[in-house]
Amino acid sequence: MMSGGIGSWATARRVIAQHGTASTVLLFADTKVEDPDLYRFLDEAAAQLGAQLVRVADGRTPWEVFRDKRMIGNSRIAPCSKYLKQVPCRQWLETHTDPGTATVYVGIDWTETHRLPAIEAAYLPWTARAPLCEPPYASKDELIAEANAVGLATPRLYELGFPHNNCGGACVRGGQAQWTRLHQVDPERFATEAAQEQQLRAQLGKDVAILRDRTGGITKPLPLIELRQRIARGQVDTDDWGGCGCFTEIEKEVPVEKPDRGQLASVHPLQPPTSFATPATPTTAALRTSWTADELMAMTFPETKWAVPGVIAEGLNLLAGPPKVGKSWLSLGTAIAVAGGGKALEAIEVEPGPVLYLALEDTPRRLQNRMGKILQGKPAPKDLTLATSCPTLPQGGEQAIARWLERNVGARMVVIDVFAKVRGTTPPGLSAYDADYAAMGHAKRLADTFGVAVVLVHHVRKMGSDDFLEQVSGTNGLAGAADATLVLKRARGTADGVLHVTGRDVEEDEYAMAFQPAAGLWRLMDGPPEDHQLGETRAAIARYLRTNPNSPPKEIAEAIGRTRDTVKRTCARMAQDSQLCVDAAGRYRLPGTESPGAVPAVPAVPEPPSTSDNATILRGQSALLGVPAVPDKERPQP
């Protein structure tokens, strides 16, 4: 399938290297609106490869197809793809090849492996393969360099900044950034396309357009003439490149009913029903990835969006913990809080919004029981969609989640419990680290494309480690690919657990957690975890000295309601354990506070500095003393 792009040339080169030119045909479907340089590249590529180039054509242009079908193509449904590409090529295959001996090769690469199942289904009974989805993997820039090395000039559209070489830069699957680029480099072509769109809008008498605008959480058509005005005002989504792939999916021109977000959806791994996802063409954007320094500094980026302020930000979040520690209770309780609004972890105010929760280890009955315990009679949030099954991310799961996100504009969080259920098989030839990193890529792409917090629930390894990141099961490729890593561990003493958090947009910190079995809820506790990991008397002493350093045992005993002897013995032991420092006068303080001449009984290990800007909103008040639980080191307000 020779589209005229660099991927189809590289695919043909690999096929010919394996099978030779005698049995290879380069099949090109002409839409009649291609860039003139595409035809140049096709002819030179065929000559360089030494294979036969066959051209097929329906004879119509995309706009003629739109008029015949009485609709305007867009990123979701593109009849031009079906009638100008798929149908002519299918007819040629049926006339000239035998499904038992012929193989169809397509030019998608390893970043688009989620499209392969639909491609294979589309070409049955022929076998379809995508060599660029197999090792050795290469980027588009590397493929262009490979073509240049054998004497092929780069197709003009790539040089002009387009991510594809189709339809003269006017592919209807493209987004605002693609059409803005067309306006910049070929304003005459842009004007022609805009005029065609306006003419058909008038004929149809409907407010329809190629592009969509999602400003303010409301999706509406965005005609090209309006986009031209926005370009002049500098109000264009420069990251919305859309997608372009005429041979990647089976097109189905049927309306999709929006599901009730509150219903329990049981999704079959092989056939996702419309209650959760549809097999429509994905619209993953080809995001811009390079700028000049002055361009980058002149850009204005929106503030980081938080699902749970200070804890879970937009991006890919990895939540790990040992079995039965309560990860599912934590993730489900958080999902309910975010979907309904209110307080997450019974302490943090959250902004409400749609949430998708994939409970892949639960049955609907168990999930209902868990929700009932958490809700305690309160109504279930309508903006929470639950599913107990999902395809693996490489085999349609990413597409299914993307469709849900498209239908639920403004979604705040996606929870996948557990990641192992949707990870899929490891591509052959990859190291363990590369396989882990690649497995995270599908979820990472969803998080970045839709600006949503994606939480992957995962396990920790049995072998302990002082570094909580090293406890995540698997290689460092998992934590390395994630934007944030959260590890929930059981703690000693009175606290039920400690939540360790670190990431690119969230400051590193750790929080004491308490589990309430009757309600199935995790709650943030007052004060740092150390207070709750000490014995009751030691914790009381530490809390008092945090606000009253350099106090003698008698003063401490009176303040916390213990006997002087008990406090004196406990303080001495805490000093021996490097939990307190004592001066020559027998006064005690916490390590790290200033007091000339005071030394711990044994050398103390310096405490790591706290870097959490959000810690203050997570700490609360001291329940025992009725005074603010001041952190060991000053924590600024967020």
Q: Enter the pTM of the model.
A: 0.45
Contact 388/260 with Cβ under 8 angstroms? no
Contact 611/507 with Cβ under 8 angstroms? yes
Helices (H), 315-390: 327-340, 364-375
Contact 191/30 with Cβ under 8 angstroms? no
Lookup result for tokens 């290469």? 138
Which pLDDT score, from 0 to 100, does residue 606 have? 39
Task: Give mean pLDDT in consecutive 10-residue pieces for the chain, a chain of 638 residues.
Answer: 93 94 95 94 95 95 93 87 92 94 91 77 89 85 92 94 91 91 93 93 92 80 93 85 59 34 34 35 48 84 82 88 80 91 86 92 88 89 90 85 86 90 77 80 87 86 50 67 82 60 79 77 69 68 90 93 88 85 92 56 39 36 32 40
Helices (H), 384-431: 397-407
Q: Which of 634, 614, 311 is nearest to 453 (CA)?
A: 311
Which pLDDT score, from 0 to 100, does residue 621 have? 29
Which pLDDT score, from 0 to 100, does residue 55 have? 96
Contact 548/541 with Cβ under 8 angstroms? no
Which pLDDT score, from 0 to 100, does residue 604 have? 38
Q: Which residues pair with 56 in a beta bridge?
A: 29
d(CA 378, CA 370): 13
Which pLDDT score, from 0 to 100, does residue 256 have? 31
